[in-house]
Structure 1
Amino acid sequence: MRTTLAIATILSATFAIEAHASSDDAWGAFSKDVSKACITAAKGLIDNGKAVVDPFGSQSYGLAVVTGKAHGGKATVSTICAYDKKTKKAEVGGEIPGEQLIAKPAK
């Protein structure tokens, strides 16, 4: 009986660790997808954009702020991006001046 309980406990802990690692991998992949899609969607507005991604987004959308140099200009600007989790398409809002909003992406 004790052996069975010990084996069950070990297996349960092993599956929990694997599920957590898998979940972390999935969220990491999701974040990369949102970042790539949002930077691409912002190309006509922002040159060399960098994205700061909300790690989980909302129920329906991945969310990010893309920051960089205004297209064809020198000013730093940002835009808000929504990434549809179902269609995997991103849309950006308008240009937000640097003094109003700047997201500092990790290097």
Structure 2
Amino acid sequence: MINKKQYAFILLPCLVFNSGSAFSSSDDAWDEFRRDVELKCLEASRAGTPSMNIKEIQVDPFGSDNFGFALVKFEDRNEPGTRFIACTYDKETNSAETSSPFHP
């Protein structure tokens, strides 16, 4: 039977050597998440307002437990002035939905 000291002696090296790969893959996963939020939110924004000229998109780096968020800044080719659309990205379904345009 393994006592507590032996268990710690076996477990500690495993944790130390595996922690580096967990952190690097986590960074890669967050980068992929942000790219997917941006892509899906841009697609959803253009589908809802085809005459938009996108100026900027800001993606919340991590989102909430269930959702990603982005803010799309654009100008409508048919109406003067800058507008914004809020976008929500569902982490479970990997789909995005947008609000109607905000007129500041």
> TM-score scaled to structure 1, two decimals?
0.72
1:75 maps to which residue?
A: 81
1:28 maps to which residue?
A: 31
**What residue ranges of structure 1 are gaps of 5+ in the alignment?**
101-107
Q: Percent identity?
A: 33
Closer/same/farther in 2, CA of residues 71 and 84 from structure 1, 3 Å limit: farther
Q: Which has the larger radius of gyration?
A: 2
Paired residue total: 93
**How far did 1:50 drift?**
3.0
CA–CA distance in 2 between the matches of 1:96 and 1:24? Answer: 33
CA–CA distance in 1 between the matches of 2:75 and 2:59? Answer: 18
Which residue among 81, 84, 87 is the counterpart of 2:93? 87
1:48 aligned counterpart, secondary structure: strand
Q: CA RMSD in A?
A: 2.2
**What residue ranges of structure 2 are gaps of 5+ in the alignment?**
1-8
Which residue among 15, 32, 40 is the counterpart of 2:18? 15
Q: Which runs of 4+ in 1 moved over 4 A?
A: 8-11
- Which amino acid is 2:96 matched to? A
The structure with more helix, counted as a fraction of residues? 2
> TM-score scaled to structure 2, two decimals?
0.74
